[in-house]
Structure 1
């Protein structure tokens, strides 16, 4: 869809009824909102899952990076022309648009990286940080957790690729699964010991001779459940971020007093609970990116306007491939 002048576009709908281009109404920031000109977005599996169950009139999308073009009267952290990045919320219109209103508490000032590199990170970073430092209570400081070991299922995906970097930075020993073709990627992103998911998980992990304090299952919650119960030490944690295709028997956790933990980074914004912690966490990420301790996980880029056609392509690319890292749409409208 070609646009000129001040015309701005948004994409509404879902993958069931179809994605549709709709001219975006004039947006004015109020309260604590900032108005952002969206320069890049990234596509997450949750985008596809939610669009299949979303009202046709809602704008989807979460991860974004861009430039502040307006601020509400109660905004204290940002000003016009600030470069920012954020993951947004499920309860408001999202980033599948040329412009977006977002609560300043969910936003951080961006370091001097490409917008495409920045857009790849917020949702997965927040998921990773909340797992490590809120669910598992590790210390968020360099090298502070030496002697503890985590097992990551699907280490080469979007969440895995940032989580392993962060875990390595804070001193954790990291074991992670992937296909052998992605072992080099794992090693380059903070993984100490690699595991081939085609082979026996238990036998491969046991050969490392390490005590597994926590498992982080970043795919189907039911997959590997029995193996993870066997591998994680007594009083350890099984952390999960996705639904399960089949029921799981949580009574299997009882003999070892294991904890079963859920992480959903949208809970804070959805229930207005500690929202400012997400902007603060992204500010820490900005510092780590600027210092080179963390690197972007962007691996694929579509350079095109944010339109229904572009997002249909992006959804298809994500759905049809075992994605390593993150897929980003770099918005070429109004450049």
Structure 2
């Protein structure tokens, strides 16, 4: 047990953003197969506030107090017994349990070395938005060049990555967004934009091979009318109408959101090569975490939300 202390966000009970408390707690020690990470940046994902509110307690139970967050980038601070794959001082990104903190513990199985020209901000967005989009489009949606894909919520944390990835793949990309975000999603590679505030997408879109829904609600049911037989509906936020879809010859499924290490490598390489870009329009400090969660809960942001943990986000 170390006597070193660290700042971390603690949650003691389910509730609103006010339940996010910044405290000084003991720094953890890595065990066999683990490393201690000095966190530079942490991704703020929608699942984080859903867990905090207790909306997922039957699926993702927590033990209070807990530290929120799972996506991070940082620097290897200390190796656990037997760890040789990662060296002290190495820049990494990945997944961990509790990343709204100065230091976190990560299994070496969840770590990826950062490419040379990636920033900590960019890397912190990968295991959340980018990985979810990559898995949904390519592993589950089987999207290939020349196909037509509709992305609901194309400006959001997942949607902004999905739009770029689909464009990179050579698909015909249709995106829905609010009026203020139409130019933004055009810049990401959307071929056809739909202002959902003014137009019902089913009136202007048809014969789609794949729909990726990051919005939920009645969007799932309405999407069935514009998917061609043999097409696919992937939902990230709700249970799709599987039986109705089957009657129409459509494959509907809920995305698992888990990407392999190979997928994470591929995404990092695409960002490093400037084929796609990580968009984090909302960057907050650890002290501003309550505000960060409030922004996330609105669901109307651009790109990913990131917490700046260290004093600097660049190397």
TM-score (norm 1): 0.82
Alignment CA distance shift 1:75-1:256 (3 Å):
farther
Structure 1 residue 321 displacement after superposition: 6.2
The separation in 1 between residues aligned to 2:299 and 2:213, in whole angstroms, is 19
Alignment CA distance shift 1:122-1:37 (3 Å):
same
- 1:263 equivalent to 2:255? Answer yes
- 1:81 equivalent to 2:89? Answer yes
- Residue in 2 that maps onto 1:150: 149
Structure 1 residue 15 displacement after superposition: 5.1
The separation in 2 between residues aligned to 1:78 and 1:186, in whole angstroms, is 38
The separation in 2 between residues aligned to 1:30 and 1:164, in whole angstroms, is 40
The answer to whether the Cα contact below 8 Å between 2:160 and 2:303 also exists between their aligned partners in 1 is yes
Alignment CA distance shift 1:76-1:166 (3 Å):
farther
Structure 1 residue 334 displacement after superposition: 9.6
RMSD of equivalent CA atoms: 2.3
Structure 1 residue 249 displacement after superposition: 4.9
Alignment CA distance shift 1:171-1:236 (3 Å):
same
Residues 137-216 of structure 1 mapped to structure 2, 5 A cutoff: 137-138=142-143, 145-198=144-197, 199-206=199-206, 211-216=207-212
Q: Spell out, residue by residue over 1:152-209, the C-alpha distance to the aligned partner (whole angstroms, 9 max, x if none).
A: 1100000000111111111111111001221111111121111111211111214xxx
- In structure 1, the residue corresponding to 2:205 is in which secondary structure? helix
The separation in 1 between residues aligned to 2:83 and 2:186, in whole angstroms, is 42
Question: Which runs of structure 1 show a deviation greater than 6 angstroms over 4 or more consecutive aligned residues?
Answer: none
- 1:136 equivalent to 2:134? Answer no
- Within the candidate set 8, 11, 18, 2:9 is matched to 11
Q: Which residues of structure 1 form unaligned runs of 5+?
A: 139-144, 267-276
- 1:32 equivalent to 2:33? Answer yes
- Residue in 1 that maps onto 2:266: 284
Q: 146-155 vs 109-118, which deviates more?
A: 109-118
The alignment covers a number of residue pairs equal to: 299
The separation in 2 between residues aligned to 1:73 and 1:167, in whole angstroms, is 42
Alignment CA distance shift 1:135-1:20 (3 Å):
same
- In structure 2, the residue corresponding to 1:205 is in which secondary structure? coil
Alignment CA distance shift 1:82-1:259 (3 Å):
same
Q: Which residues of structure 2 form unaligned runs of 5+?
A: 55-61
The answer to whether the Cα contact below 8 Å between 1:109 and 1:286 also exists between their aligned partners in 2 is no
- Residue in 2 that maps onto 1:44: 45
- In structure 2, the residue corresponding to 1:319 is in which secondary structure? helix
Alignment CA distance shift 1:162-1:260 (3 Å):
same
Alignment CA distance shift 1:36-1:49 (3 Å):
same
- Within the candidate set 212, 219, 233, 2:215 is matched to 219
Alignment CA distance shift 1:107-1:278 (3 Å):
farther
Alignment CA distance shift 1:9-1:215 (3 Å):
same
Structure 1 residue 9 displacement after superposition: 1.7
The separation in 2 between residues aligned to 1:128 and 1:226, in whole angstroms, is 21
Alignment CA distance shift 1:152-1:320 (3 Å):
closer
- Residue in 2 that maps onto 1:229: 224
TM-score (norm 2): 0.87
